[in-house]
Amino acid sequence: MRDETRAKQLAHALVGTGNSCGIRTRALLTDMNQPLGRAVGHAVEVQECLNLLRGKIDDGARPVLDLSIELSAHMLVLSRVDESLDAARARLQRALDSGAALERFRQNVEAQGGEPRVCDDPDRFLPLARESVKVESPRSGFVRSVNTTEVGHAIAAIGGGRIRVEDSIDPSVNQRMSFKFLMLAGLLCVLALAGPACHRQVYSADDKSKIHVGIVFDIGGKDDRSFNAAAFAGVKCAETGKWPHGENCGKPALDIVLRDIEPGNPTSIEPAMRAFAERGYDLVIGVGFAQAPIMEMVAKDYPSLHFAIIDGVIFEDDGKTPRANVASLIFKSTKGHISLAYLRPRRLRRELLAFWAAWILV
């Protein structure tokens, strides 16, 4: 929850529900305004926790340990194993110091068919990233806030999370934070990318014959009765030969795989666009001129992929020449359809031309 008042309301509701069902329930409100530890990502977070269980405590990961002890202490009191939080905390600390906590984790891993030796050598058995890129601050200073939502979006965009249900997850993708609030930030973070995430990904064998098209709608959703709705109608016509409501659109369906994303806020647009590009989509469409600055950056990063912007024009660095890998679809002032004036047919595959031929909105 982003708002503390609403978080308290939800906590009270959940506690009330649990207690009314005869389950002793408590809720703790904790600070999520920055990553809890240094690691953000599947494998590295497991690595961080294993290091804590093994007694290798890094100051940046200390909040992970402290919160884990506090939550566990409340559980011990609620289950009447201990009478007080202090007694529960002491019990937990003994389990950590003696290695009993690590041993129990080892048993859980083995019981689920995992490799128990990961407890002894996490770096060897975890799928950690093979390549990393440093992202440094241009100047020294103090970190006053962290946009944790965008940290999550960044991880998802490079394969560490799902933007759509069918997306696969690369557990090695991660981000390591080398700062906390009020700490001198010379180096902001280290963004680690697994090998596959650093290169254009290809489709599975049964999809290679199809053109993959991804469209990122503007804020407002595809039912906004404006550009989004018109774009959605056009791509559904190209995909299925029908309008969204099911009526035949008068054009044959094309052999394409279509995916769309409706961003919840403006900061979600770039991660969504990059997600399509990273997965090697043949064509990435942005709806609305507001997406032009974002598409300009993404298209420049992926020069071998094709992009299209609706109601906008993206130029090369000279500010005059339309960017070679971006089709700019603009509305003529006297007609209700999209003009392909800036489309460069010689740069596109013949199949993509067929797609655009079907995607004229009248």
CATH number at residue 147: 3.90.1170.30
- Does residue 239 sit in the same domain as residue 180? no
Q: Do 34 and 137 fall within a single domain?
A: no
Residue ranges making up the domain that contains 135? 131-197
Identify whether residues 13 and 40 lie together within a single domain.
yes
Domain boundary among 167, 197, 227: 197
* Residue at which a domain ends, from 146, 166, 197: 197
Residue 11: the pLDDT is 84
Alpha-carbon distance of 233 to 3, in angstroms, equals 37
On whether the CB atoms of residues 135 and 176 are closer than 8 A, the answer is no
- Give the pLDDT score at 336: 42
pTM (two decimals):
0.50
Is 231 in the same domain as 336? yes
Q: Are residues 83 and 33 in the same domain?
A: yes
Give dist(CA 213, CA 354) in Å, integer: 13
Q: How many CB atoms lie within 10 A of CB 101?
A: 19
Instruction: Specify the pLDDT at position 194.
Output: 33
What one-character DSSP code corresponds to residue 61?
G
Same domain, 212 and 325: yes
Is the CB of residue 284 less than 8 Å from the CB of residue 273? yes
Domain final residue, candidates 197, 230, 250: 197
143 and 59 part of one domain: no
Residues 222 and 329 in one domain: yes
Contacts of 183 (CB under 8 A, 6+ apart): 142, 143
CB-based burial label for 169 (10 Å; 0-12, 13-18, 19+): middle
Return the bridge partners of 308, or none: 285, 327
| The pLDDT value given to residue 319 | 84
Tens-digit pLDDT string for the chain (362 aa): 677 888 888 888 888 888 877 788 888 888 777 788 888 888 889 999 999 999 998 888 888 999 999 999 999 999 999 999 999 999 999 999 999 999 999 999 999 999 999 999 998 999 888 888 777 777 777 777 787 778 888 888 778 887 777 778 888 888 887 665 433 332 233 333 333 333 333 443 335 678 889 999 888 777 777 778 888 888 888 888 888 888 888 888 888 888 888 887 777 788 888 888 888 888 999 998 889 889 998 998 889 999 999 888 888 888 888 899 998 887 654 444 443 333 443 344 444 444 444 444 33
Residues 92 and 211 in one domain: no
Looking at residue 96, which CATH number applies to its domain? Answer: 3.40.1030.10
Q: For residues 218 and 264, state if they share a domain.
A: yes
Q: Are residues 250 and 345 in the same domain?
A: yes
Q: What is the pLDDT of residue 10?
A: 84
Question: How many domains in the chain?
Answer: 3
Q: What is residue 88's predicted lDDT score, i.e. its pLDDT? A: 94
CATH label of the domain that carries residue 350 = 3.40.50.2300
The C-alpha atoms of residue 163 and residue 279 are separated, in whole angstroms, by 12
Q: d(Cα 311, Cα 329) in Å, to the nearest integer?
A: 6
20 and 105 both lie in a single domain: yes
- Which two three-digit tokens encode residue 296? 């300009």
Q: Which pLDDT belongs to residue 52?
A: 93
